[in-house]
Amino acid sequence: MTLVSTPPPDEGRTFSDVLERLGQERLDQDRLDQGESDKLSLREMVEAFGERGFGAVILMLALMALFPWPPGGKAVFSVPIILIAAEMALQREKVWLPRWLLNLSVSRQSYRSATAKILPRLRRVERLTRPRWPVLTGEAADVAIGVICILLALMMALPVPFGDALPGLTLALFGLGIIQRDGAFILAGLFGSAVCGVYLALVWTTVVAVVSGIAHWAANLF
């Protein structure tokens, strides 16, 4: 496991500002001339957000998980979210991730293409946020939010129709609420979690009913 250093936060930068800056930064020309590709690693992303790393990584991974991926692709995003959420629940002060996970990277060009689609909408949402309702953003709340985010990430990895979009959006609400210390978005995340729970229960009930019906039909057939 590797402890990620957290530089002093830049209070003047919003989450969307940092996302945009990460896409613009490049390797120095000497390294590019030597054939090194211009990659953006998870370590660089985490370090860029400083003390906001927990909420920022959850939000960033949740947003990326909302894009279309091959079957099972969403599970790739669930693993780091579960680790980050567990550390939140344990009230760690800094992000702690395995070295292999921190070394995962994407090309900066692909990253820019993806964030270009997200940033306009994200900035509109950011204008609605502000620090409020501290009872929902304190240390005790972080424990509960961390546990809920673990459950949401597990649901996101399940092969359930629309079972990835609902928890992905809810995780994004929690992530933004954590970054901005906005209790209203935390409350929205709690409501979204309840919706996810009800939806998963309905899907499970439907699957059990279908399987039971097929088994009953097969028993009568023979």
> Which residues fall within 8 angstroms of residue 151, CB to CB, at 6 or more apart?
193
Spans of the chain, pLDDT less than 70: 1-13, 25-37, 50-52, 68-74, 162-163, 222
- Based on the structure, what is the number of domains in the chain? 1
At position 163, the amino acid (one-letter code) is G
What is the predicted pLDDT for the residue at 28? 46
**What residue numbers bound the domain in which 9 lies?**
2-221
Integer Cα distance of 168 and 91 in angstroms: 23
What is the predicted pLDDT for the residue at 194? 93
44 three-class SS: helix
What is the predicted pLDDT for the residue at 147? 92
Integer Cα distance of 184 and 220 in angstroms: 54
What is the predicted pLDDT for the residue at 70? 65
What is the predicted pLDDT for the residue at 47? 79
